[in-house]
Chain A
Amino acid sequence: MNLWNRLMCFSRRRSPWLFHMNSGSCNGCDIELIASLTPRYDAEQLGVRLEGSPRHADILCITGPVTRNSVQAIKTVYGQVCGPKAVVAIGSCPATTNVFIDSRTLDGPLNRHLPVDVFVPGCPPRPDAIIQGIAAAAGILAERAAKRWPAESVMVPMADPESACDCTKCDCTKEDKSSADTPAREVQP
């Protein structure tokens, strides 16, 4: 790893930007995520920022038990986040669908659709736990960046968002899924 790569890894770990997505949550987790960014818990001291666009984000924070209506949107947004990326599932809902289990309008849990890196269980998890989860995801992100940093950065147009998340079509394990992100889809600076 050359100096440039080391610098990039360091900065990725120190400034993970978040995109928050609500896939049918009850708002409890969303509020706690926002609370963790405000003065009392102050996740911003880790360089964390909530971004308005998935294309600016490194970490996708997903709350909620994944309703049928939001499945497609989740996949699209996941495809729009530039690699390397990490997914944090906040709350018990995305992990297990929680009290809504057996509902016919749900298509959860989340790891049926996306490769999830960090689960933060709790209904809702406390802001401290959310910050811990985000910090863990930032570490994963830095590792991933170190491993798959191409020798020359290539600018490739984004694939069709519909097919962006091709890892859902296979039954591969979690490790395989993260490597199912082919570098061709990644837009490097």
Chain B
Amino acid sequence: MSYKIPMGPYHPALEEPYKLDLICEGETVRDAKLHIGFNFRGIEHLAETRNYIQVIALMERVCGICSNIHTLTLCQSMEQLTGLTPPPRALYIRVVVAELERLHSHVLWAGIAAKLMGFKTMFMTCFELREKVMDVLQAISGNRVNYSMNRIGGVNRDIDDPLAVLAMVQALEREMVRTVIPIFTTSSTARSRCAGIGILTREKALSCGVVGPTARASGLPQDLRRDAPYAAYSEMEFNVPVQPDGDVRARLLVRALEIMESCKILRQALTKMPPGEINTGDAKIVFAAGTATSRVEAPRGEVMYSVSWKQDAKNPSRVHVRTPTFANMPSVRWMVLGARLADTPLIQASIDPCYSCTDR
């Protein structure tokens, strides 16, 4: 006899409000239904009532974890409409901030996953370490969450002393190698809790169209930083970690390896940073009519913005956002099929869901 267990929308295992209806037979999950929309703030509609400066501040608040990625993508698509090209130093600064954001997001995810595993020590360790990443971000931008670094045609703040930031990043990397990465990769607690659960096969991953670390953990080597480089990524050297297993442990490993790759990119970007201007100045910006799209690799996968502008308009006529969680969400259903009920919070968290992005 199957029965339904509703989980959420406000549930201690869920960081954000959404509802999961699990159809169970005994302890085994047979099916799952997801209800979202509790965070719906109507941002896409609001964007149509804001001018090009306000819309950046608005879009930064789509998500508090990957706030920089949203403004970066929006600015890139608006730059296509205005014909402005950011100077090279601005592109490097964008890479630095984006990678720091990826670091903090992955460490945060590790902390939350650890909490769901019941591994409270690792949760605290991860958050301790995350504070150090936040220190670097704060040193660069002055803010902890909404950095407001991007603008049309460049960035708002310069990194005055890249070498000082580099020293901080190196200290951070040592700390990562010493504490978080071993727990991720070799700890038997993490392994026994994560291995073999929430499996998403390569075929299923392809048919669901998953993106980001979820795809890479199912053996799909895709990463926009390498496949369609934006900002200064074409000048960086890095690997794209791929794991074939598709279980929660593979996702854990992919993110652990990505942390190391991010540190590598940061080191390169901070040493190679070219001198020069950081933006194209304060002249009035004229938008061409039309639609521009831009894609970037956010910590959770691919983010796409499509911005439309009408002739001589003050406000955009449409800002469309496609977030990685929107693409990854349907795959949760296939991951939890046949899983034990107790594993479902961890499995649904393993795609690193962000419903405030998805609902907007």
Contact = CB atoms under 8 A, between A and B. Distances in A.
B149 to A, nearest CB: 15
Interface stretch (A96-104, A109-117, A141-149, A171-179): A96-104
B61 A28 contact: yes
A169 interface: no
B260 interface: no
Interface string A65-92: 1011110010001000000000000000
Interface in B33-83: 37-43, 45-46, 49, 54, 57-58, 61-65, 67
Interface stretch (B12-20, B151-159, B191-199, B330-338): B12-20
Contacts of B67: 26, 28
B40 A27 contact: no
Contacts, number: 117
A124 B146 CA distance: 8
Nearest to A123: B146
A100 B37 contact: no
Interface residues of A, number: 38
What is the interface residue range for chain B against chain A? 35 or more
Interface string A49-79: 0001100000000001101111001000100
Contacts of B318: none
A35 interface: yes
Given A24-B39, A123-B146, A31 B10 contact: no
Given A30-B15, A126-B144, A67 B354 contact: no
A34 interface: yes
B130 interface: yes
B348 interface: no
A22 B127 contact: no
Contact of B131 (A27, A38, A70): A38
A9 B259 CA distance: 47
B124 interface: yes
A28 B41 contact: no
Contact of B46 (A34, A38, A103): A103
B108 interface: yes
A187 interface: no
A105 interface: yes
A99 B108 contact: no
28 contacts: A22-B16, A24-B38, A24-B40, A24-B359, A25-B39, A25-B64, A26-B63, A27-B64, A27-B354, A28-B64, A30-B15, A31-B64, A31-B65, A32-B144, A32-B145, A34-B127, A35-B130, A38-B123, A40-B127, A53-B12, A67-B38, A69-B40, A73-B10, A99-B57, A99-B61, A100-B61, A106-B42, A123-B61
Interface of A: 21-32, 34-35, 38-40, 52-53, 64-65, 67-70, 73, 77, 98-100, 102-106, 123-124, 126
Interface of B: 9-10, 12, 15-17, 37-43, 45-46, 49, 54, 57-58, 61-65, 67, 108, 123-124, 127-128, 130-131, 134, 144-146, 354, 356, 359
Q: Which 5 interchain pairs have the tightest Cβ spacing?
A: A28-B64, A52-B12, A38-B127, A27-B64, A28-B145
